[in-house]
């Protein structure tokens, strides 16, 4: 050690010897309260994963314990079936209505876009 460090160390030891040996009562109570809070939080964080796993297992068993629903009876299924459509034409194809043709949508953006690539009128 250097001489400066030795002098500093001796000075710190003298200061420590002169000061009180115990902390004031209010600081001691506050420290105890904080340590208890940390201990409570630590124990809670230890048990939270255990309880969550137990809840997940209980939920899984509860869901699986429900009896499966029986399949619908054939009479019920037949009642809900879609009735066949009678063919209107003799060629065997089902023809759909033609879709409506809407006029093209003209916007300012579209006009500017078209003017860039085609001469505008």
Domain locations in the chain? 1-65
Distance CA 44, CA 38 (A): 10
pLDDT value of position 4: 72
pLDDT value of position 32: 93
Contact criterion met (CB below 8 Å) for 84 and 93 = no
Distance CA 39, CA 32 (A): 10
pLDDT value of position 54: 94
pLDDT value of position 1: 54
Distance CA 96, CA 106 (A): 29
Distance CA 116, CA 3 (A): 85
pLDDT value of position 23: 79
pLDDT value of position 18: 83
Distance CA 42, CA 36 (A): 10
pLDDT in 10s for each residue of the chain, 121 residues: 566 788 889 888 888 888 777 878 899 999 999 999 999 999 888 889 999 999 999 998 888 776 666 666 665 555 565 555 554 545 666 767 776 777 666 666 666 666 666 665 5
């Amino acid at each position: 050690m250097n001489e400066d460090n030795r002098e500093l160390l001796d000075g710190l030891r003298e200061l420590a010897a002169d000061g009180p040996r115990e902390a004031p009562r209010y600081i001691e109570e506050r420290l105890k309260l904080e340590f208890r809070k940390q201990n409570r939080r630590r124990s809670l964080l230890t048990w939270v994963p255990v309880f969550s796993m137990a809840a997940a297992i209980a939920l899984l068993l509860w869901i699986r314990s429900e009896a499966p629903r029986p399949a619908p009876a054939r009479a019920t299924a037949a009642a809900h079936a879609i009735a066949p459509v009678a063919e209107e034409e003799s060629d065997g194809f089902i023809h759909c209505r033609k879709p409506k043709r809407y006029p093209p949508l003209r916007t300012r953006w579209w006009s500017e876009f078209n003017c860039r690539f085609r001469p505008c009128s």
